[in-house]
Structure 1
Amino acid sequence: MTEKQIYWSRKRDELVTAIKQLGFPRELGDQIAKQLGSPKAMDRMLAYIYNVKPRTAELIVDEMLAICSDIDTWHKKKSAEEANAKYNEILYYGLETDDEENY
C-alpha cells in the first residue's frame, strides 16, 4: 500500500471507531467513510462527531450529506473559475487557428 492509501485507511478506521463509540453499528461508519471519500472530508466529519456527539444516525447522515454538498459546490466553483480563465484568455489573445492565415 502507498502512503496515501495507508493514511486514508487510518482516517477511515478513526471515523468508524468514533461512530461505533457513539453506539452506532460499524456498517454506518463504513458507509459514511465511503461516501465522504477523502481524509479531509473525514476530518470534517470527525470534528463534527467529537464536538456535537450526535445521538441519532439521521444527524450523522445529514452532516455527511452537508459535507458532500460543500465539496461538490467547491468542485463546481473551481471548474467554473477554470472555464472563465480560459474564456478570458480567448477574449484577450483570440483564437489562434490556421484559418486566420487564409484571410
Structure 2
Amino acid sequence: MWVQTMTENQMEWSRKRDELVSAVKQLGFPRELGEQIAKQLGSPKAMDRMLAYLYNVKPRTAELIVDEMLAICSDIDNWHNKKAAEEANARYNQMLYYGLGAEETD
C-alpha cells in the first residue's frame, strides 16, 4: 500500500491554511471564503500577512477581506517582477563587462 507523507513545507502550508480558515470563521464568514483566500495567497508567508490583517483590523465585510488578499497578491507579483528585472539587469551588465564570449577566428 502506498502511503504518501507530507513534506515540512506542505505541513506548514496546511497549518497556516487552517489558521486562516479559523480566523475567517471567527469573524463570522463562511469557511469557504477562508479556503479560497488561502488558495489564492499560496504561501505561508502571504497567509501570515493576511492573518495579521484579520487579527488587527477585524474587517466587517467579505469585500474588505478580498481587497486585502488582492493587495497582498499584487505586492507578491511586484516583488517577483522586481527580482526578475534585477536578474536581467545583472546579466546584461555582466554581458557588457565581459562581452558575448570569445570571438571566433577562421
Per-residue CA deviation, residues 25-55 of structure 1 (Å, 9 max, x unaligned), is 0000000000000000000000000000000
Which consecutive unaligned segments of at least 5 residues does structure 2 have?
A: 1-5
Cα separation, 2, equivalents of 1:19 and 1:11 = 12
State yes or no: 1:44 paired with 2:22: no
Identity of aligned residues (%): 83
* Equivalent residue, structure 1, for 2:98: 93
Q: Given residue 23 of structure 1, which amino acid in structure 2 is its aligned partner?
A: G
Q: Given residue 104 of structure 2, which amino acid in structure 1 is its aligned partner?
A: E
Q: Given residue 93 of structure 1, which amino acid in structure 2 is its aligned partner?
A: Y
Report 1:20-39 matches (<5 A): 20-39=25-44
TM-score, normalised by the number of residues in structure 2: 0.93
Cα separation, 2, equivalents of 1:24 and 1:101 = 67
* Equivalent residue, structure 2, for 1:73: 78
Cα separation, 1, equivalents of 2:104 and 2:84 = 33
- Kindly tell me the number of residue pairs found equivalent between the two proteins: 101
State yes or no: 1:12 paired with 2:29: no
TM-score, normalised by the number of residues in structure 1: 0.96
State yes or no: 1:64 paired with 2:69: yes
Which consecutive unaligned segments of at least 5 residues does structure 1 have?
A: none
Q: Given residue 55 of structure 1, which amino acid in structure 2 is its aligned partner?
A: R
